């Protein structure tokens, strides 16, 4: 069974690739990062990092993917293997499958929330709810024991339905993915533009007795007012680099996989630029014009300053839409959560393709078998993210397994893989060959300076971001930490640094300091769940390593000189 699929059209490929990059972070993470990192001035380090790290990584991944595709490889283990003979590269390539399995497990859960919220918006569930009622509704939704619709285990049902939809589309192969992108991306942009126009035209019309100073323009001003002094703060630069890294979905193996289906003489340079800048359009233009202005228009700037963050999408936006009247609120809710759903599904579909590519290439599995096996594995890995949580005092939910997956698979693994692939491409495969590969069939001329940026600047930047998260100082305050270090006061790691997280230091400290017996027991249980989640991740990684080894043996027996 040969895996000789190819993209049906160039626009389809670019929309699929842009859809892979555009995710919930474009609408929720970017505005929160901008607000807390210098407002309008944040765009300077952000665009600098896009030019020096984002574009180079896109070029590396697109050209590596197409290069591997020439030899019939559609997943990172053997794409990396085709670039250098040493055996360990294929095991580093395991990250490009493992990450997608683990991230899809919790990402599909978030996607299922958006699906469920589209339903609730249209069904009028949020009508006449207060702001706190909407927040409580979200907590109740995550608490699977509490039904919000009368349906038992509603969160589980929507999760399974979402996973089935993803798997079904994947079973249709690239055609299915392309069709989903061709429907999803234009709708996402259309919904985004409609909501952005509302955000721009809201002004002070929504001020109320409770929030007399509410003004959408004040929100926009707060987001975009440049605070140039922030540019001297290393934290702002690290956060900008982190935002660029996560928004482009690089370091996952999905770009390689999609690019591996590009025919050998077709362009990758223009495609990479086009998909990358489309992601920037959605993030910078649409992402900044929806959540912050609309929330500031109803709740005022002070509320934004205290509450801006990821939770606003589900805990606040339905309440704000409610103020537009029953018909418009249903319509706006459908557009907002529909937009997030399309952003989510175009990304989660991309996560399924590396596994499919690997199993089809190496074990001759059919499109359907590889898709349904992906769905089954994601279900087994993902169901603990739905069912393992703790209800905190006050009703909010601590999603233990979900957070562990996000941290180790969705954050740390990406940096490790991106750094490894950059070194492989620029220093092992060789920049001369790499540059030739980027420019082969190119429909645009990439400035030659990128040859040197890819070789020297991008690996240094990646290393800086990686070391930055490994040794994150107390309260992420680099200025104080560096001056403290030079004055001989040493370096205090923050509990969110990778090293401290590896040893679960934060949780252990809390257990040691807990005085209440019930709270101590809860924390000790959390420690056990954390260990289980990590074991599960490790088992998946080792399992994929084993499959790569089996595939290697199979190749060797078929072709002893390989």
Partner 1 sequence: MTTAALITIIITHTIVISTCTYFFIKVLRTPLKPEDEETPEEK
Sole binder of partner 1 in the list 21, 24, 43, 180 (CB under 8 A): 43
Provide, rounded to whole angstroms, the least separation between the CB of residue 285 and partner 1. Answer: 6
Q: Does 267 bind partner 1 (CB under 8 A)?
A: yes
Stretch that binds partner 1, among 222-230, 351-359, 411-419, 511-519 (CB under 8 A): 222-230
Q: Give which of 447, 366, 22 is closest to 170, Cα–Cα.
A: 366
Task: Write the burial class of residue 529 (CB in 10 Å: 0-12 exposed, 13-18 middle, 19+ buried).
Answer: middle
Q: Does 221 bind partner 1 (CB under 8 A)?
A: yes
Q: Does 266 bind partner 1 (CB under 8 A)?
A: yes
Each residue 277-316 as x (binds partner 1 by CB under 8 A) or -, in order, gives: xx-xx--xx-------------------------------
The angle that helices 413-423 and 95-123 make with each other, rounded to 10 degrees, is 130
Q: Does 265 bind partner 1 (CB under 8 A)?
A: yes
**456, containing H or E segment:** none
Find the binding residues for partner 1 in span 428-487 (CB under 8 A): 441, 443-444
DSSP track, 48-103:
HHIIIIIHHHHHHHHHHHHHHHHTT--SHHHHHHHH---THHHHHTTHHHHHHHHH
How many beta carbons lie within 10 A of that of residue 542, not counting itself? 12
Q: Does 273 bind partner 1 (CB under 8 A)?
A: yes
C-alpha 454: how far from chain center:
23
> Helix, strand, or coil here: 293?
helix
Q: Does 274 bind partner 1 (CB under 8 A)?
A: yes
Provide, rounded to whole angstroms, the least separation between the CB of residue 368 and partner 1. Answer: 26
Provide, rounded to whole angstroms, the least separation between the CB of residue 210 and partner 1. Answer: 24
Q: Does 264 bind partner 1 (CB under 8 A)?
A: yes
Sign of CA dihedral 367, 368, 369, 371: positive
Provide, rounded to whole angstroms, the least separation between the CB of residue 284 and partner 1. Answer: 5
Q: Does 556 bind partner 1 (CB under 8 A)?
A: no
Nearer to partner 1, 218 or 400 (CB): 218
SS3 string, 363-404, reads HCCCHHHHHHHHHHHHHHHHHHHHHCCEECCCCCEECHHHHH
Stretch that binds partner 1, among 126-134, 251-259, 263-271, 488-496 (CB under 8 A): 263-271
Q: Using alpha carbons only, how large is the chain's radius of gyration in Å?
A: 23
Q: Give which of 295, 296, 341 is closest to 318, Cα–Cα.
A: 295
Find the binding residues for partner 1 in span 58-97 (CB under 8 A): 70-72, 82, 85
Which residues form the interface with partner 1 (CB under 8 A)? 10-11, 14, 39-41, 43, 47, 70-72, 82, 85, 217-218, 220-221, 224-226, 263-267, 270-271, 273-274, 277-278, 280-281, 284-285, 441, 443-444, 562
């Amino acid at each position: 069974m040969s895996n000789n699929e190819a993209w049906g059209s160039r626009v389809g490929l670019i929309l699929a690739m842009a859809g892979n990059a555009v995710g919930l972070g474009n609408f929720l993470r970017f505005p929160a990062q901008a607000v807390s990192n210098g407002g309008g001035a944040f765009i300077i380090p952000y665009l600098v990092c896009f030019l020096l790290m984002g574009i180079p990584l896109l070029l590396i991944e697109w050209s590596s993917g197409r290069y591997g595709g020439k030899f019939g490889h559609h997943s990172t283990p053997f794409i990396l293997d085709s670039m250098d003979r040493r055996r360990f590269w294929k095991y580093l390539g395991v990250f490009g499958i493992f990450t997608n399995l683990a991230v899809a497990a919790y990402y599909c859960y978030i996607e299922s929330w958006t699906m469920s919220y589209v339903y609730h918006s249209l069904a009028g569930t949020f009508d006449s709810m207060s702001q706190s009622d909407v927040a409580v509704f979200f907590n109740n939704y995550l608490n699977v024991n509490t039904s919000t619709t009368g349906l038992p285990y509603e969160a589980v049902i929507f999760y399974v339905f979402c996973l089935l939809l993803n798997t079904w589309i994947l079973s249709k192969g690239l055609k299915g993915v392309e069709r989903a992108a061709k429907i999803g991306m234009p709708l996402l942009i259309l919904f985004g533009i409609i909501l952005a126009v509302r955000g721009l035209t809201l002004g002070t019309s929504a001020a109320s007795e409770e929030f007399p100073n509410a003004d959408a323009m004040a929100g926009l001003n707060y987001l975009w007012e440049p605070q140039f002094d922030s540019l001297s703060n290393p934290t702002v630069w690290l956060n900008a680099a982190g935002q660029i890294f996560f928004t482009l979905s690089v370091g996952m193996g999905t770009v390689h996989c999609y690019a591996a289906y590009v025919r050998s003489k077709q362009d990758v340079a223009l495609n990479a630029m086009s998909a990358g800048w489309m992601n920037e359009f959605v993030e910078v233009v649409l992402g900044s014009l929806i959540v912050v202005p609309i929330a500031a228009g109803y709740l005022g700037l002070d509320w934004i300053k205290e509450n801006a963050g990821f939770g606003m999408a589900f805990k606040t936006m339905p309440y704000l839409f409610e103020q537009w009247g029953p018909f418009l609120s249903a319509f706006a809710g459908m557009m907002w959560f529909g937009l997030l759903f399309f952003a989510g599904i175009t990304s989660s579909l991309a996560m399924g393709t590396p596994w499919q590519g690997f199993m089809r290439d190496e074990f001759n599995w059919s499109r359907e078998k590889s898709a349904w096996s992906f769905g089954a594995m994601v279900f087994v890995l993902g169901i603990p993210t739905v069912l393992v949580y703790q209800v905190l005092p006050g009703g909010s939910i601590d999603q233990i397994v979900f957070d562990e997956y996000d941290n180790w698979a969705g954050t740390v693994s990406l940096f490790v893989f991106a750094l490894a692939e950059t070194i492989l491409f620029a220093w092992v495969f060789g920049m001369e060959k790499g540059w030739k590969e980027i420019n082969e069939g190119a429909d645009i001329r990439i400035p030659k300076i990128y040859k040197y940026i890819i070789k020297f600047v991008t690996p240094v930047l990646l290393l800086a971001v990686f070391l930055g998260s490994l040794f994150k100082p107390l309260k992420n305050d680099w200025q104080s930490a560096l001056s403290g270090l030079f004055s001989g006061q040493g370096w205090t790691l923050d509990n969110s640094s990778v090293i401290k997280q590896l040893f679960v230091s934060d949780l252990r400290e809390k257990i040691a300091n807990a005085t209440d017996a019930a709270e101590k027991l809860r924390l000790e249980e959390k420690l056990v769940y954390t260990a289980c989640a990590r074991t599960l991740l490790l088992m998946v990684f080792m399992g994929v390593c084993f499959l790569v080894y089996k595939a290697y043996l199979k190749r060797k027996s078929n072709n002893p000189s390989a």
